[in-house]
Amino acid sequence: MRVAPKEIQTFRDDFTYSNSPQAIERFPFPFPTDEYRYSVNIEPHLPKGGEGSAYEKFLDIDEHYLSEMVERDLVLKAMPDRCLSMPHMDLACWDMIERCMVSLAEDYPDYFRLERNGDHWTWDNRLLNQKDSFVFGDSSSLPLPPLEYIGRQLQGDFAILDQRDGDLFMDAGIVTCPADWSIAFDQGMSFAEWHGPVPMAHQEGVFERALKYLTAIQVGKPVRRLNWTLTINARMDTSPETYHEWGCDRTTVTPENIAGKVYLRVELQVLDRMPRSNALMFSIRTYLMSLEDICTNPEWARRLHRVMKTLPEPLIEYKGLSRYHDMLVQHLSQFDRAN
Protein backbone atom coordinates (compact mmCIF):
# COMPACT_ATOMS: atom_id res chain seq x y z
CA MET A 1 0.00 0.00 0.00
CA ARG A 2 1.41 3.35 -0.99
CA VAL A 3 0.86 6.28 1.34
CA ALA A 4 -2.58 7.83 1.10
CA PRO A 5 -3.23 9.90 4.23
CA LYS A 6 -6.91 9.98 5.04
CA GLU A 7 -9.11 12.41 6.92
CA ILE A 8 -8.11 13.43 10.43
CA GLN A 9 -9.19 11.01 13.15
CA THR A 10 -8.81 11.25 16.92
CA PHE A 11 -6.71 9.34 19.47
CA ARG A 12 -8.63 10.75 22.46
CA ASP A 13 -12.15 11.70 23.60
CA ASP A 14 -14.42 10.14 20.94
CA PHE A 15 -11.65 7.89 19.50
CA THR A 16 -12.59 7.97 15.83
CA TYR A 17 -9.32 6.24 14.82
CA SER A 18 -9.75 3.22 12.57
CA ASN A 19 -7.65 1.10 10.21
CA SER A 20 -8.46 0.45 6.57
CA PRO A 21 -8.16 -3.12 5.22
CA GLN A 22 -4.83 -2.10 3.67
CA ALA A 23 -3.56 -0.82 7.02
CA ILE A 24 -4.55 -4.09 8.68
CA GLU A 25 -2.72 -6.08 6.02
CA ARG A 26 0.54 -4.13 6.49
CA PHE A 27 0.43 -4.11 10.31
CA PRO A 28 3.80 -5.23 11.75
CA PHE A 29 2.57 -8.19 13.80
CA PRO A 30 5.27 -8.72 16.45
CA PHE A 31 5.10 -12.43 17.34
CA PRO A 32 7.14 -14.87 15.21
CA THR A 33 6.53 -17.80 17.61
CA ASP A 34 3.85 -19.04 20.03
CA GLU A 35 5.73 -17.80 23.11
CA TYR A 36 7.16 -14.39 23.94
CA ARG A 37 10.34 -13.80 25.94
CA TYR A 38 12.63 -10.79 26.02
CA SER A 39 15.50 -11.10 23.55
CA VAL A 40 17.88 -8.96 21.52
CA ASN A 41 15.53 -9.19 18.52
CA ILE A 42 17.50 -6.79 16.33
CA GLU A 43 17.97 -7.03 12.57
CA PRO A 44 19.33 -4.71 9.87
CA HIS A 45 16.78 -2.07 8.86
CA LEU A 46 16.55 -3.11 5.22
CA PRO A 47 13.50 -3.27 2.94
CA LYS A 48 11.38 -6.31 3.75
CA GLY A 49 7.91 -7.53 2.84
CA GLY A 50 7.57 -5.95 -0.60
CA GLU A 51 5.87 -2.80 -1.82
CA GLY A 52 3.70 -1.13 0.78
CA SER A 53 5.24 -2.99 3.72
CA ALA A 54 5.84 -1.11 6.97
CA TYR A 55 9.49 -2.08 6.45
CA GLU A 56 9.76 -0.84 2.86
CA LYS A 57 11.16 2.64 3.62
CA PHE A 58 13.51 4.06 6.22
CA LEU A 59 10.65 6.17 7.65
CA ASP A 60 7.14 4.77 7.32
CA ILE A 61 4.42 7.26 6.38
CA ASP A 62 0.90 5.84 6.25
CA GLU A 63 -2.79 6.75 6.19
CA HIS A 64 -2.68 8.12 9.76
CA TYR A 65 -0.06 10.81 9.04
CA LEU A 66 -2.35 13.85 9.31
CA SER A 67 -4.10 12.48 12.40
CA GLU A 68 -0.80 11.91 14.19
CA MET A 69 0.44 15.41 13.37
CA VAL A 70 -2.72 16.89 14.93
CA GLU A 71 -2.27 14.69 18.00
CA ARG A 72 1.38 15.76 18.34
CA ASP A 73 0.36 19.41 18.20
CA LEU A 74 -2.24 18.92 20.93
CA VAL A 75 0.30 17.26 23.23
CA LEU A 76 3.04 19.85 22.67
CA LYS A 77 0.66 22.75 23.25
CA ALA A 78 -0.35 21.25 26.61
CA MET A 79 3.13 19.99 27.62
CA PRO A 80 6.01 21.69 25.75
CA ASP A 81 8.58 19.69 27.75
CA ARG A 82 7.69 16.62 25.68
CA CYS A 83 10.30 18.02 23.29
CA LEU A 84 13.70 18.74 24.79
CA SER A 85 17.32 18.89 23.76
CA MET A 86 20.40 19.50 25.87
CA PRO A 87 22.74 22.19 24.48
CA HIS A 88 25.45 19.71 23.42
CA MET A 89 22.90 17.88 21.20
CA ASP A 90 22.43 20.71 18.69
CA LEU A 91 24.63 19.08 16.03
CA ALA A 92 22.79 15.78 16.49
CA CYS A 93 19.47 17.53 15.89
CA TRP A 94 20.75 18.88 12.58
CA ASP A 95 21.97 15.38 11.76
CA MET A 96 18.40 14.21 12.27
CA ILE A 97 17.01 16.95 10.04
CA GLU A 98 19.28 15.91 7.19
CA ARG A 99 18.66 12.18 7.60
CA CYS A 100 14.89 12.54 7.73
CA MET A 101 14.47 15.16 5.01
CA VAL A 102 16.69 13.30 2.55
CA SER A 103 14.90 10.01 3.27
CA LEU A 104 11.40 11.44 2.95
CA ALA A 105 12.20 13.33 -0.26
CA GLU A 106 13.70 10.21 -1.85
CA ASP A 107 11.05 7.76 -0.66
CA TYR A 108 7.89 9.89 -1.00
CA PRO A 109 8.58 12.41 -3.80
CA ASP A 110 4.86 13.11 -4.28
CA TYR A 111 4.65 14.53 -0.78
CA PHE A 112 8.10 15.84 0.18
CA ARG A 113 10.72 17.81 -1.73
CA LEU A 114 14.17 18.99 -0.65
CA GLU A 115 16.35 21.48 -2.56
CA ARG A 116 19.93 22.01 -1.40
CA ASN A 117 22.27 24.75 -2.55
CA GLY A 118 25.22 24.48 -0.22
CA ASP A 119 23.95 25.36 3.26
CA HIS A 120 20.82 27.01 1.84
CA TRP A 121 17.99 24.48 1.89
CA THR A 122 14.33 24.62 0.93
CA TRP A 123 11.98 22.02 2.35
CA ASP A 124 8.48 21.43 0.97
CA ASN A 125 6.04 19.26 2.94
CA ARG A 126 2.99 19.04 0.72
CA LEU A 127 0.99 16.96 3.20
CA LEU A 128 1.08 19.82 5.71
CA ASN A 129 1.17 22.60 3.10
CA GLN A 130 4.42 23.79 4.66
CA LYS A 131 7.39 25.21 2.77
CA ASP A 132 10.45 26.72 4.45
CA SER A 133 13.85 27.98 3.35
CA PHE A 134 16.65 27.93 5.93
CA VAL A 135 20.39 27.80 6.43
CA PHE A 136 21.52 24.34 7.47
CA GLY A 137 23.10 24.53 10.92
CA ASP A 138 21.59 27.93 11.77
CA SER A 139 18.75 27.40 14.22
CA SER A 140 17.67 31.02 13.95
CA SER A 141 16.71 30.43 10.31
CA LEU A 142 14.02 27.90 11.28
CA PRO A 143 10.55 28.78 12.61
CA LEU A 144 11.05 26.32 15.50
CA PRO A 145 14.04 24.72 17.26
CA PRO A 146 15.54 22.05 14.97
CA LEU A 147 14.28 18.97 16.83
CA GLU A 148 10.75 20.28 17.22
CA TYR A 149 10.68 21.52 13.63
CA ILE A 150 11.42 18.13 12.08
CA GLY A 151 9.67 16.15 14.83
CA ARG A 152 6.35 17.86 14.08
CA GLN A 153 6.53 16.41 10.57
CA LEU A 154 7.27 12.77 11.40
CA GLN A 155 5.10 9.92 12.60
CA GLY A 156 6.31 8.29 15.78
CA ASP A 157 8.49 9.44 18.64
CA PHE A 158 12.21 10.20 18.40
CA ALA A 159 14.98 10.14 20.97
CA ILE A 160 18.55 11.14 20.17
CA LEU A 161 21.07 9.18 22.21
CA ASP A 162 24.49 10.64 22.93
CA GLN A 163 27.23 8.02 23.04
CA ARG A 164 30.10 8.46 25.47
CA ASP A 165 32.17 6.26 27.79
CA GLY A 166 30.77 3.13 26.16
CA ASP A 167 27.21 4.02 27.12
CA LEU A 168 24.13 5.72 25.62
CA PHE A 169 22.39 8.70 27.20
CA MET A 170 18.93 10.04 26.40
CA ASP A 171 19.89 13.68 25.94
CA ALA A 172 17.29 14.82 23.38
CA GLY A 173 13.89 13.73 22.15
CA ILE A 174 10.39 14.55 20.98
CA VAL A 175 8.04 12.07 22.63
CA THR A 176 4.30 12.67 22.46
CA CYS A 177 2.93 9.12 22.07
CA PRO A 178 4.88 7.02 24.59
CA ALA A 179 3.83 3.71 26.11
CA ASP A 180 4.01 4.62 29.81
CA TRP A 181 7.32 6.50 29.92
CA SER A 182 8.38 10.14 29.97
CA ILE A 183 11.17 11.95 28.11
CA ALA A 184 11.07 14.66 30.77
CA PHE A 185 11.79 12.05 33.45
CA ASP A 186 14.29 9.98 31.43
CA GLN A 187 16.34 12.87 30.03
CA GLY A 188 20.02 12.44 30.74
CA MET A 189 19.62 8.83 31.87
CA SER A 190 21.98 6.07 30.75
CA PHE A 191 20.84 3.00 28.84
CA ALA A 192 20.61 0.88 32.01
CA GLU A 193 18.83 3.63 33.96
CA TRP A 194 15.96 4.19 31.54
CA HIS A 195 15.48 0.42 31.17
CA GLY A 196 15.44 -0.02 34.95
CA PRO A 197 11.70 -0.86 35.28
CA VAL A 198 11.78 -3.73 32.75
CA PRO A 199 11.48 -7.12 34.56
CA MET A 200 13.33 -10.39 33.80
CA ALA A 201 15.54 -9.07 31.01
CA HIS A 202 18.25 -7.83 33.37
CA GLN A 203 18.76 -11.22 34.97
CA GLU A 204 19.09 -12.79 31.53
CA GLY A 205 21.72 -10.30 30.39
CA VAL A 206 19.59 -9.05 27.50
CA PHE A 207 20.30 -5.36 27.99
CA GLU A 208 24.03 -5.83 28.48
CA ARG A 209 24.22 -7.59 25.12
CA ALA A 210 21.95 -5.02 23.52
CA LEU A 211 24.08 -2.09 24.70
CA LYS A 212 27.26 -3.70 23.38
CA TYR A 213 25.54 -4.21 20.01
CA LEU A 214 24.05 -0.71 19.80
CA THR A 215 27.24 1.16 20.64
CA ALA A 216 28.89 -0.64 17.70
CA ILE A 217 26.31 0.47 15.09
CA GLN A 218 28.02 2.10 12.11
CA VAL A 219 26.93 5.02 9.94
CA GLY A 220 24.72 3.82 7.09
CA LYS A 221 23.79 0.55 8.80
CA PRO A 222 20.59 1.18 10.79
CA VAL A 223 18.96 -1.63 12.74
CA ARG A 224 15.40 -2.27 13.90
CA ARG A 225 13.35 -4.27 16.35
CA LEU A 226 9.70 -4.60 17.33
CA ASN A 227 8.33 -3.93 20.79
CA TRP A 228 4.72 -4.36 21.90
CA THR A 229 2.16 -3.88 24.63
CA LEU A 230 -1.62 -3.72 24.90
CA THR A 231 -3.56 -0.53 25.46
CA ILE A 232 -7.18 0.37 26.05
CA ASN A 233 -8.84 2.46 23.34
CA ALA A 234 -6.93 3.87 20.38
CA ARG A 235 -4.94 6.22 22.60
CA MET A 236 -1.50 7.33 21.43
CA ASP A 237 -0.45 9.31 24.51
CA THR A 238 -0.21 6.89 27.43
CA SER A 239 2.43 8.86 29.29
CA PRO A 240 2.82 9.12 33.09
CA GLU A 241 1.90 12.80 32.75
CA THR A 242 -1.57 11.87 31.47
CA TYR A 243 -2.13 8.77 33.62
CA HIS A 244 -5.08 10.46 35.30
CA GLU A 245 -6.80 10.45 31.91
CA TRP A 246 -6.18 6.83 30.88
CA GLY A 247 -5.23 4.82 33.97
CA CYS A 248 -8.80 3.86 34.82
CA ASP A 249 -9.48 2.65 31.25
CA ARG A 250 -8.28 -0.82 32.19
CA THR A 251 -11.25 -1.19 34.53
CA THR A 252 -13.74 -0.65 31.68
CA VAL A 253 -12.95 -3.83 29.74
CA THR A 254 -15.76 -6.40 29.65
CA PRO A 255 -16.32 -9.65 27.70
CA GLU A 256 -18.78 -7.72 25.55
CA ASN A 257 -16.48 -4.84 24.56
CA ILE A 258 -13.01 -6.41 24.69
CA ALA A 259 -12.69 -6.91 20.92
CA GLY A 260 -13.11 -3.22 20.17
CA LYS A 261 -11.67 -1.84 23.40
CA VAL A 262 -8.28 -3.58 23.60
CA TYR A 263 -5.59 -2.62 21.10
CA LEU A 264 -2.31 -4.30 20.28
CA ARG A 265 0.25 -1.51 20.29
CA VAL A 266 3.39 -2.25 18.28
CA GLU A 267 6.51 -0.10 18.11
CA LEU A 268 8.83 -0.34 15.13
CA GLN A 269 12.04 0.88 16.73
CA VAL A 270 14.94 1.94 14.50
CA LEU A 271 18.43 3.01 15.56
CA ASP A 272 20.58 4.90 13.09
CA ARG A 273 24.10 6.32 13.59
CA MET A 274 24.43 10.04 12.81
CA PRO A 275 27.57 10.96 10.84
CA ARG A 276 28.50 14.38 12.30
CA SER A 277 27.66 13.95 15.97
CA ASN A 278 28.09 10.15 16.33
CA ALA A 279 24.77 10.13 18.19
CA LEU A 280 22.12 7.44 17.62
CA MET A 281 18.73 8.50 16.32
CA PHE A 282 16.17 6.23 17.97
CA SER A 283 12.80 6.30 16.21
CA ILE A 284 9.74 4.69 17.81
CA ARG A 285 7.00 4.32 15.21
CA THR A 286 3.73 3.25 16.86
CA TYR A 287 0.96 1.21 15.23
CA LEU A 288 -2.42 0.50 16.88
CA MET A 289 -4.72 -2.37 15.97
CA SER A 290 -7.88 -3.48 17.78
CA LEU A 291 -8.39 -7.13 18.73
CA GLU A 292 -11.33 -7.12 16.37
CA ASP A 293 -9.09 -6.18 13.46
CA ILE A 294 -6.27 -8.49 14.55
CA CYS A 295 -8.65 -11.43 14.57
CA THR A 296 -9.63 -10.91 10.95
CA ASN A 297 -6.34 -12.72 10.33
CA PRO A 298 -6.82 -16.30 11.66
CA GLU A 299 -3.08 -16.93 11.96
CA TRP A 300 -2.57 -13.78 14.04
CA ALA A 301 -5.55 -14.63 16.25
CA ARG A 302 -4.22 -18.12 17.03
CA ARG A 303 -0.70 -16.84 17.65
CA LEU A 304 -1.87 -14.02 19.93
CA HIS A 305 -3.90 -16.49 22.00
CA ARG A 306 -0.89 -18.74 22.52
CA VAL A 307 1.40 -15.84 23.37
CA MET A 308 -1.03 -14.38 25.90
CA LYS A 309 -1.75 -17.79 27.46
CA THR A 310 1.95 -18.45 28.11
CA LEU A 311 3.02 -14.91 29.05
CA PRO A 312 5.03 -14.95 32.32
CA GLU A 313 3.36 -13.29 35.30
CA PRO A 314 6.03 -10.55 35.68
CA LEU A 315 5.40 -9.48 32.07
CA ILE A 316 1.64 -9.53 32.58
CA GLU A 317 2.10 -7.15 35.49
CA TYR A 318 4.71 -4.96 33.79
CA LYS A 319 2.62 -4.49 30.66
CA GLY A 320 -0.46 -3.60 32.70
CA LEU A 321 -2.57 -6.57 31.63
CA SER A 322 -3.45 -7.99 35.06
CA ARG A 323 -7.01 -6.68 35.25
CA TYR A 324 -8.14 -8.19 31.97
CA HIS A 325 -5.57 -10.86 31.08
CA ASP A 326 -7.81 -13.85 31.86
CA MET A 327 -10.66 -12.24 29.94
CA LEU A 328 -8.34 -11.67 27.00
CA VAL A 329 -7.14 -15.27 26.90
CA GLN A 330 -10.73 -16.51 27.10
CA HIS A 331 -11.82 -14.25 24.25
CA LEU A 332 -8.93 -15.32 22.02
CA SER A 333 -9.45 -19.03 22.73
CA GLN A 334 -12.37 -19.13 20.30
CA PHE A 335 -9.89 -18.52 17.47
CA ASP A 336 -7.57 -21.35 18.53
CA ARG A 337 -9.66 -24.50 18.63
CA ALA A 338 -6.59 -26.71 18.36
CA ASN A 339 -5.40 -25.53 21.75
Active site residues: 225
Tally of CB atoms within 10 A around 47: 11
Q: What is the DSSP string of 212-267?
A: HHHTTPPBT--EEEEEEEEEESS-S-B-GGGHHHHGGGGGG--TTTHHHHEEEEEE
3-state DSSP assignment of residue 327: helix
Tally of CB atoms within 10 A around 165: 8
3-state DSSP assignment of residue 130: strand
Burial class, 253, CB count within 10 angstroms (exposed 0-12 / middle 13-18 / buried 19+): middle
Q: What is the C-alpha to C-alpha distance for residues 338 and 335, in angstroms, rounded to an integer? A: 9
- Would you give the end-to-end CA distance of the chain in angstroms? 34
Given a contact cutoff of 8 angstroms between Cβ atoms, the answer to whether 144 and 152 are in contact is yes
The DSSP secondary-structure symbol of 9 reads: -
